[in-house]
Amino acid sequence: MDVVSPELNSLLPDEIMDTEAMEKVVPSQPDGTMGVKPEPLDLTVPMETDSSSETLNICSDVAAPQPALSTDSPLTINPGASSSVSMASSMPSSIITLKPVQATSVATTRTTDSVTGTSVSTSGLQKLTGPFTISAANHQIILNKVASSQATEAGRGAGTTPQIIKQDGQKLLLTAIGKSVQPFVLQLPHTGSKPVVSQAAGDAKTQTPQFKVVTIGGRTELKSIVGNAGNQMSTLQAQHLKTVQITKKTPVSSAAPIKFIVTKAVNSKGPQTSVAPVIAGRVLTQTSPLMTPRTITLTESHNTSIPGKKIAISPLKTPSKVTVVSVASPTGNTSQKSVALPVNVALGQQILTVQQATPGSPVKVVTGPSPAQNIKPVQPVAVGGVSSSQFKTIIPLATQPNVQQIQVPGSRFHYVRLVTATTASGPSTSSVQTAKPMSTGAVRMSVPIVQAKTVKQMMAPKPLPSAAHVVTSPQTQQRLIMPATPLTQIQPNFANLPPGTVLAPAPGGGNMGYAVVPAQYVTQLQQNPFVTLASSSAFPPLTGVQTQARLPLNGFPAPESTSRPRKPCNCTKSQCLKLYCDCFANGEFCSNCNCNNCFNNLEHETERLKAIKTCLDRNPEAFKPKIGKGKEGESDRRHSKGCNCKRSGCLKNYCECYEAKIMCSSICKCIGCKNFEESPERKTLMHLADAAEVRVQQQTAAKTKLSSQISDLLTRTAPVMSSGGGRLPYTFVTKEVLEATCECLMEKAKRAEQTRQSQAEAERMVLEEFGHCLMRIISSAAKAKTDCDSVNC
């Protein structure tokens, strides 16, 4: 696991932020009214109608599923002169109004089907400055990475993580991380149809759900959020936007595209606005220092999770997906709302339900009075359905990263134990959310999260009536949300960060850190308490994924690395901080290695993160798997860069292609390559390898059988002498007999060696001789038994 020091973390935004995509986005209205820098935003967010996912229920207090919000009532955006943009549902209670105090944010529209923005700041202290796109699909708001077409293509092929808030979901969860801000969720209207407008860049984007939950800074400085459900988004000048109102209607379905505009808060110095957090149809007040807290309670409590209405945490379709999980702990003053967040990932994505219990929360669902209790040291977050090796879960840490690396046997990845020094207290409002699975076959994986000090008792997961998993959330301040810290700090190379990377809180950025946890790292620890991320059946269960990883590919068995622990490294000079080190290259900590002066551990977090950054600067793909999917029509697996072998003929493990048990491809620059399909050398080699493997298996089986027979023989002969039964006397296996047997065997082995027999043949001869010896022993024993019986008679 990597730990990013605060210093380094503070450097991340500018250095690793991927702004290329944003720059490439062509705003529909490049009027240049942007604040700091022109960053086009997609105003139109078409909502995909997903009848199955109509209902979104986050509040646990209501058990009955609510009717799905339909896009009939498109999100209306009041751009232009009106300084407020409202995003309200048809139901009066579902109206969410965001009123930034100052309209300093800037928003631009883009003709894409998704809304992209470069920064969202909910508080003056924290901003989400990373480029992102908001799109509404499947009733979810998902933050995806790069919006540019290039990024999209790259994301498909190479597994980059687009930061796009897509329309895969209808929820936008805004929460303050590490601050006393109450989380709020923007629940998008339900759309029955795909976006009509702005399809330019949207097609590719719509299928890549990325960030599921967005946490906005510890303070409510969300300058403006514009949602227009009904029609296209007009270009909004964030400067004119003061209030974002999203209107949402509860009709069953609607085809109207939803457009969102996320304005960039250029000037965060203005008075802070109070944002009403809405979760599961409820609006939770979020008080700002300057404004009186408002509490809006939505009468429609969507308690039960309805498919499609959940926040997707870990999309599985595309590789390199990143989930940001906030574990920040609120400050003492923070009045948190008990929020149950059923998260469902469309397309077989995980369902994540996070419940936050906040004392005094108007909308808290209390299953039972559970005051702050000590939670178990490990709070696994279950993440399921991870199919992509690139998928990562980023868990923001509330405090300085107090992370313990946990090596999971058989897993390439580390478990991250997140320890937050939180002193959260107050009544524990716990509720179990039942997320209705989009399909069966929910998978549960867990990421242990530990709170160091006062931990609250985490609820044990309850089985969902449906295949979906119940998500239980600890009553701690842990949140499955995207931290309010500048998004740029974490956005840029999330996909490239090695697994287990922990980003320490940046100076002045609050106490939020991040832990990058690749999805597949999240294994199936069924420990409690935990937050469960269930995946629909659209994706194979984790076990299925793992099994699939072992399946032969292209005639080659999957690399053993997928099923066995990695090999210990022996680095001596690289300090295990260069890609020479396999541990480091795989994003792993050194554990049980033979390396010297190793820095690839938690004790050298800063150095390690610097090394990671250096590697990423040198090669953004450095930590991505080298073996990826090849071009169409080519082998399913091929080396991403190809090998450069010159002398090995690509038939030794020096060759990365051969080592990965794949054939060289056209991109290889090897000389004298013999690692191709028709290569006779390769065939011979493979044949020999297969033969050797078969031989080993046979020998193993023979030895096992022989041992079993001997054991059985001894067992059967033991009672003979005492009981006089029909068993052979074991006393015949005396020292002399053993020595004689060994001599016979040795003689046989010598003879085999003299005759230059192969090892296999020699072994066969020895075993055969051993069998003969046994037969003689048995015969002698039988004869002795007969004699004994005759004597007894």
Partner DNA sequence: GAGTTTGAAACT
Partner DNA sequence: CAGTTTCAAACTC
Give the residue, chosen from 42, 72, 221, 656, that forms a contact with DNA under the rule CB under 7 A.
Answer: 656
**Residue 545 makes contact with DNA by CB under 7 A:** no
Q: How many CB atoms lie within 10 A of CB 200?
A: 16
Q: Quote the CA–CA distance of 74 and 541 in Å, as a whole number.
A: 35
Task: For residue 655, state whether it binds DNA (rule: CB under 7 A).
Answer: yes
- Stretch of residues binding DNA (CB under 7 A), selected from 363-371, 535-543, 618-626, 707-715: 618-626
538 lies in the binding site for DNA (CB under 7 A):
no
One-letter amino acid of 771: G
Q: Is 652 a residue that touches DNA (CB under 7 A)? A: yes
Q: Is 615 near DNA (CB under 7 A)?
A: yes
In the complex, minimum distance from the CB of residue 700 to DNA, in angstroms, rounded to a whole number: 21
Among 548, 619, 704, 786, binds DNA (CB under 7 A): 619
Quick check: 662 binds DNA (CB under 7 A)? Answer: no
φ/ψ of 638, rounded to 5, equals -155, 160
In terms of Cα–Cα distance, which of 204, 194, 307 is closest to 259?
Answer: 194
CA distance 176 to 326: 9
Give the 3-state secondary structure percentages of the chain, helix then strand then coil, rounded to 5. Answer: 25, 20, 60
Residue 453 interacts with DNA (CB under 7 A)?
no
| Residue 659 is a binding residue for DNA (CB under 7 A) | yes
Could you tell me the smallest distance in angstroms from the CB atom of residue 572 to DNA?
4
Which phi and psi angles does 580 have, rounded to 5°?
A: -60, -35
Does 497 bind DNA (CB under 7 A)? Our answer is no
Identity of residue 457: Q
574 forms part of the interface with DNA (CB under 7 A): yes
Among 641, 716, 751, 776, indicate the residue that binds DNA (CB under 7 A).
641
Cα(20)–Cα(148) distance, rounded to whole angstroms? Answer: 8
Q: Is 683 in the site for DNA (CB under 7 A)?
A: no
Q: Which of 204, 352, 571, 765 binds DNA (CB under 7 A)?
A: 571
Q: Which is nearer to DNA, 343 or 569 (CB)?
A: 569
Least distance in angstroms from the C-beta of 647 to DNA? 4
The answer to whether 592 contacts DNA (rule: CB under 7 A) is: no
Q: Are 58 and 342 in contact (CB under 8 A)?
A: yes
647 counts as binding DNA under rule CB under 7 A: yes
User: Does 569 contact DNA by CB under 7 A?
Assistant: yes
In the list 653, 722, 790, 792, the residue contacting DNA (rule: CB under 7 A) is 653
Closer to DNA by CB, 171 or 604: give it. 604
One residue of 12, 534, 581, 745 binding DNA per CB under 7 A:
581
Dump strand ranges (E) for 238-391. 243-248, 259-262, 264-265, 278-279, 282-283, 322-324, 339-341, 350-352, 354-356
CA 80 to chain centre: 40
Q: Is 622 in the site for DNA (CB under 7 A)?
A: yes
Query: Does 564 help bind DNA (rule: CB under 7 A)?
Result: no
On whether the CB atoms of residues 386 and 397 are closer than 8 A, the answer is no
Spatial contact of 520 and 158, defined as CB atoms under 8 Å apart: no
The first and second tokens of residue 476, run together, are 């701690």
From 294, 453, 626, 695, residue interacting with DNA (rule: CB under 7 A): 626
Tell me how far, at minimum, the Cβ of 67 lies from DNA, in Å: 53
Question: Quick one: tokens of 353?
Answer: 């339900």
Q: How big is the chain, counted in residues?
A: 793
Find the part of the chain contacting DNA (CB under 7 A) among 384-392, 522-530, 563-571, 689-697. Answer: 563-571
CB of 672 to DNA, least distance (A): 8
Q: Provide the residue type at 426 as one letter.
A: G
Residue range at the interface with DNA (CB under 7 A); choices 224-232, 481-489, 575-583, 769-777 = 575-583
Q: Which two tokens stand for residue 425?
A: 């207290």
The answer to whether residue 607 forms part of the interface with DNA (CB under 7 A) is no
Task: Indicate which single residue of 618, 723, 735, 790 sits in contact with DNA (rule: CB under 7 A).
Answer: 618
Q: Is 570 in the site for DNA (CB under 7 A)?
A: yes
Among 269, 564, 567, 703, binds DNA (CB under 7 A): 567
Structural contact between residues 71 and 229, judged by C-beta atoms closer than 8 angstroms: yes
Among residues 70, 140, 143, 163, which one has the least CA distance to residue 435?
140
Q: How many Å apart are CA 588 and CA 568, to the nearest integer?
A: 11
Angle between helices 605-618 and 6-16 (to 10 degrees): 10
Q: How far apart are CA 261 and CA 76, in angstroms?
A: 11
Report if residue 565 touches DNA, rule: CB under 7 A: no
Q: Is 573 one of the binding residues for DNA (CB under 7 A)?
A: yes
Helix (H) or strand (E) run with residue 153 in it: helix 149-158
Q: Which is nearer to DNA, 614 or 709 (CB)?
A: 614
Based on the shown chain and the rule CB under 7 A, indicate whether residue 629 belongs to the binding site for DNA.
no
**Quick one: 54 or 588, whose CB is closer to DNA?**
588
**From the CB of 357, what's the least distance to DNA, in Å?**
45
How far is C-alpha 197 from the geometric centre of its chain's CA atoms?
Answer: 32
Using the contact rule CB under 7 A, the part of the chain among 643-651, 709-717, 720-728, 760-768 near DNA is 643-651
Q: Are 197 and 111 in contact (CB under 8 A)?
A: yes
**DSSP states of 104-144 as a string?**
-EE---BSSSSEEES-B-BSSS--B-S-EEE-EETTEEEBB
What distances in angstroms separate CA 486 from CA 125, 169, 201, one per listed residue?
Answer: 9, 22, 25
For position 34 contacting DNA by CB under 7 A, the verdict is no
Backbone angles phi, psi at 169, to 5 degrees: -140, 165
Q: 128 or 615: whose CB is closer to DNA?
A: 615
Nearer to DNA, 482 or 650 (CB): 650
Q: What is the DSSP letter of 349?
A: B
CA-wise closest residue to 341 among 658, 59, 712: 59
**Residue 125, interface with DNA (CB under 7 A)?**
no
C-alpha 607/C-alpha 609 separation (Å) is 5
Of the candidate residues 118, 648, 665, 741, the single one contacting DNA (CB under 7 A): 648
Pick 641 or 716: Cβ nearer DNA: 641
Select the residue interacting with DNA from 51, 150, 644, 715 (CB under 7 A).
644
Size of the site for DNA (CB under 7 A): 37
Stretch that binds DNA, among 391-399, 480-488, 651-659, 749-757 (CB under 7 A): 651-659
Binding-site ranges for DNA (CB under 7 A): 567, 569-576, 578-582, 585, 614-615, 618-619, 622, 626, 641, 643-650, 652-656, 659, 670
